[in-house]
Amino acid sequence: MQEFKLPDLGEGMQEAEIRRWLVKPGDVVKMDQPMVEVETDKAVVEIPSPVAGRIADILVQEGQVAKLGAALVTFEAPAGSVSTSRSPSNGAKGAVSVATASRAIAPTASTASPSTTAQRRVLAAPAVRKRAFELGIDLEKVPSSQSTGRVTMDDLLAYAERAKAAPAALPTSPATPVVSTNGIAAAPAVQPIEQEPVSVAPVAPSVSPTIQEERKPLMGLRKRIAEHMERSWRTIPHATAFDEVDGSELVALRQALKPAAEQRGVRLTYMPLLIKLLIPLLKEFPVFNASLDEGTREIIYKRVYHIGIATDSPEGLLVTVLRNADQMTLVQLAQQLEHLVAGAQKRTLSLSEVSGSTFTLNNVGSFGGSSGTPIINHPEVAILAVGRLQEKAVVRSGSLVARMMMPLALSFDHRLIDGALAGRFLARFKELVEHPQQLMLDMV
């Protein structure tokens, strides 16, 4: 028998919940055929089969949690494989360890055939393989930044970005992909995860007046959110600075840009504008775009700007990620935000779209809230929450006038950031929001 173990899916994942098996014992699967859906604290990930063969047994059932490296399924040993030492009395075969989907295991004379196909595959996590397939990119052509030769998601995305400048030079896999107008292989349509129909039973009258509560296990995304929030609150000394900004000019700018955006088929919200105003701030105050290595006690200053966006989903709040937001136009930001919101609703986002953020922006107003105190998204060091724009009476030059006011709440890691620096950060953000035309000076 051959065992397949839960692979390293990246982003420090240590366990995953089995969401749905796509195969059953006795099924014959092809290499890279989708085999199981697992849910990490970041996303729902589809893991492909590392070999072609017949499923012998499923070891972890749906709803159960598997640790990193735990055996998930066994395959019947393929013909021609070399077994371990065999007892003359019973002829039992020794177990053969299969390379996981994220790394290959070097073959040995006693455990695997020298021609095992899975062991010649490029080292890459399942999410990287899936994204490469969607882009039509042959992983063998992607240079690795790791000493082990493993291809990371950043390696793949960097390769795809370089291809935009020279699309003709992009080597693709033998399968002919659909090519978009910008020369990059377009991703096939992502099928939303089918949800089991939920039947709502009528509420029966209480049989006994003593039954006044119901218990359900904390599981799925809700469990992941709870664990992440506990870690953030337990390890980061939070402090929060509050302020209020006059958003009247921001409202006027959006109204002026909306018709042009709609002509391009884009719905322009306030978020792309706020992100554009936020980017120069993170460059001016680099510690807000950093993290703390708690092992070495070093501050890691990030030179990329992956903005996390708190996004609502049916199962809880997800932090989706606008990667390289500083390199996007307003239209591109708006388009990507629409994609992330739709993907969060269907839980179809890739791991790179829900991980790796360097600073998080939470638009509490989009959830109907006027304000709130945000919890930092570990391992980041700050998070900014903006509340709902509301018309209020304020004093300007001694006169009472109506202005569109927006509350701000900046939570920060007090180990790296002091209250005075947080105050200057908010003051500068207020200045940009109240005079948003300044973003035209640094428009990408």
How far is the C-alpha of 365 from the C-alpha of 428, rounded, in Å? Answer: 21
pLDDT of residue 15: 81
Q: Which of 90, 91, 94 is nearest to 111 (CA)?
A: 94
Q: Is the pLDDT of residue 200 over 60?
A: no
| 85 compared with 227, residue with greater pLDDT | 227
- Cα dist. 326→109, 283, 287, 304, 306 in Å? 51, 10, 17, 8, 8
Mean per-residue pLDDT, 10-29: 83
Any idea which architecture 1-82+94-105 has in CATH?
Answer: Beta Barrel (2.40)
Mean per-residue pLDDT, 120-144: 77
Q: Is 287 left (phi over 0), alpha (psi -120 to 50) or beta?
A: alpha
| 153 compared with 57, residue with greater pLDDT | 57
Query: From the candidates 228, 339, 414, 435, which is the catalytic residue?
Result: 414
Q: Which of 229, 203, 226, 225 is nearest to 214 (CA)?
A: 203
Name the band, by pLDDT with cuts 50, 70 and 90, for residue 178.
Answer: very low
DSSP type of residue 415: T
DSSP type of residue 32: T
Name the band, by pLDDT with cuts 50, 70 and 90, for residue 2.
Answer: confident
Superfamily name and number for 122-180: E3-binding domain (4.10.320.10)
- What are the extents of the domains in the chain? 1-82+94-105, 122-180, 222-442
CATH match for 222-442 among 3.30.750.80, 3.30.559.10, 3.90.1150.10, 3.30.479.10: 3.30.559.10
pLDDT of residue 10: 66
414 catalytically annotated: yes
Mean per-residue pLDDT, 394-409: 93
Q: Is the pLDDT of residue 298 over 60?
A: yes
Mean per-residue pLDDT, 44-73: 87
Mean per-residue pLDDT, 244-268: 93
Q: Which of 302, 326, 352, 364 is nearest to 132 (CA)?
A: 352
Burial of 437 (0-12, 13-18, 19+ CB in 10 A): exposed
Give the chain's mean pLDDT.
79
Count other Cβ atoms within 10 Å, centred on residue 7: 22
Q: Which of 156, 145, 27, 6 is nearest to 69 (CA)?
A: 6
Mean per-residue pLDDT, 268-272: 94
